[in-house]
Amino acid sequence: MDAITVPQTDAVNQMDLDFRLNLFPGSIKKAMANGNKDVVAEGEKPIDKFGSSDLWNIDPRVIEVIPGYNTRVKNARYKEKVLLLKTNMMEVGFKKDSPLSVIVVIDEEGKQRIKLKRGHRRLEAVLGAMAEGKPFETVPCVIVKDDIDEESLTADLVLSNNGDPLDPYATAIVCKRMTRWHPDNHAKIASKLGLWPSQVTDYLLLINGPVEISNYVRDEVIAFTLAVELLKEHGPKALGIIEQSLARSKAAGKTKLMPRFVPGKVIKKAVTAAAPAMKAAIDDIKKDKAFSQLSPANQQKLEEILEQFKQAEEAEAKLNADNPSEEPELNLHQEEV
């Protein structure tokens, strides 16, 4: 009775991207009048029709999951959540304040079908509880009549999960699907999904990049933010950098990519931390009588470094003036603590 579990493979990325919805609205009245006669077991008393007060009470076995629609990855964290929900349902039942959201459609044979819109983990949990002997004749459901076009249903994957947001990989898949209706318009996609345009840009950068990198993010081998950072910094060479970094991580006994194993990261961190001391040292060198004895080329190099510090301080000062904040200002004369 468990809901369908699709194993994660390297091909899942393309299947997620190719997924399409082709639904035709059906009759709620006819679908509810059909009851559960199509799924009732031998010797079980059928429900002639599903009833409604504020909510519809529907046999969960009747509710069909749309294959490929939900972009959540069925990893260990997903299964743990389903197990927690199932355990709770075994003890206290299905909470009426968390109903499933369903839509009614007509299939190619003209049959009324009840399809799940929201609540994939809850449906999987209740079916699992039933398989273990917990009696659930019906569960509370909300039937959605509006906003059931493909674009609205796609956006709903993000909008309906504010309490437990989709992980970055799943959100990136949704952003990619949204480009079917809003190609090259990250601001429009952002407004549809309740995100910032820069977030959409980052999600699309990931999902449009090498499939190996998005799979690493999907499998939580590398953090989304680090993957995007390396894609921006290294472009086509990002995958090679990540593979090299993973080899370093594995050699150190780590299963996930830690930033410190990325080539150059340790040096960059050290340079950033040492920047205030570097500027102070160069200032002292300039004041030293021996400065004039340096070659003109070396004097120019030091002057250029100081000029970069000066420009950075001026840019930071302007930002602080335009956007006053209680946060401390950049100070290249003082080491961070």
pLDDT class of 311 with cuts at 50, 70, 90? confident
Token couple for 142? 């909300």
* Among 315, 263, 2, CA closest to 131: 2
pLDDT at 275: 66
Report the C-alpha gap between 88 and 51 in whole angstroms: 25
Higher pLDDT, 252 or 41: 252
With cut-offs at 50, 70 and 90, classify the pLDDT of residue 3: very low
Instruction: Give the integer Cα–Cα distance in Å for 269 and 274.
Output: 9
Composition of the chain by helix, strand, coil, percent to 5: 55, 5, 40
- Compute, in degrees rounded to 10, the torsion defined by CA atoms 125, 129, 135, 139: 0
The predicted model gives 123-127 an average pLDDT of 96
- The pLDDT score that the predictor gives to residue 15 is 62
CA distance 146 to 144: 6
Task: Check whether 205 has a pLDDT greater than 50.
Answer: yes
The answer to whether residue 1 scores a pLDDT higher than 60 is: no
**Is the confidence at residue 294, as pLDDT, over 70?**
yes
Query: Once rounded to an integer, what is the mean pLDDT over residues 10-29?
Result: 67
Check: pTM over 0.95? Answer yes or no.
no
Q: Which comes out higher in pLDDT, residue 146 or 196?
A: 196
Residue 6 confidence (pLDDT): 41
Cβ-contact 181, 207 below 8 angstroms? no
Residue 148 pLDDT level (bands cut at 50, 70, 90)? confident
Distance CA(219)–CA(8), nearest Å, equals 9
pLDDT of residue 7: 45
pLDDT tens digit sequence for 71-111: 999 999 999 999 999 999 999 999 988 999 999 999 888 99
Give the number of other CB atoms < 10 A from CB of residue 55.
16
Kindly tell me if the per-residue pLDDT of 198 is higher than 90. yes
Residues 141-149 have a mean pLDDT of 88
- Identify the H or E element spanning 48: none
Helix (H) / strand (E) containing 117: strand 112-118
SS3 4: coil
The predicted pLDDT at position 319 comes to 63
Q: Residue 335 above 70 pLDDT?
A: no
Select the highest-mean-pLDDT range: 11-15, 123-127, 271-275.
123-127
Is residue 142 within 8 Å of 100, Cβ to Cβ?
yes
Question: 28: how many CB neighbours lie within 10 A of its CB?
Answer: 19
Mean residue pLDDT across the chain: 83
| DSSP secondary structure, 59-114, as one string | -GGGPBP-TTT-----SHHHHHHHHHHHHHHHHH---TTS-EEEEEEE-TTS-EEE
**pLDDT at position 124, please?**
96
* Among 39-43, 57-61, 200-204, 212-216, the least confident range: 39-43
**Is it the case that residue 12 has pLDDT exceeding 60?**
no
56-58 β-sheet, strand order: 56-58, 139-143, 100-106, 112-118
Burial of 159 from C-beta contacts in 10 A (0-12 / 13-18 / 19+): middle
Give tens-digit pLDDT for 231-248: 999 999 999 999 988 988
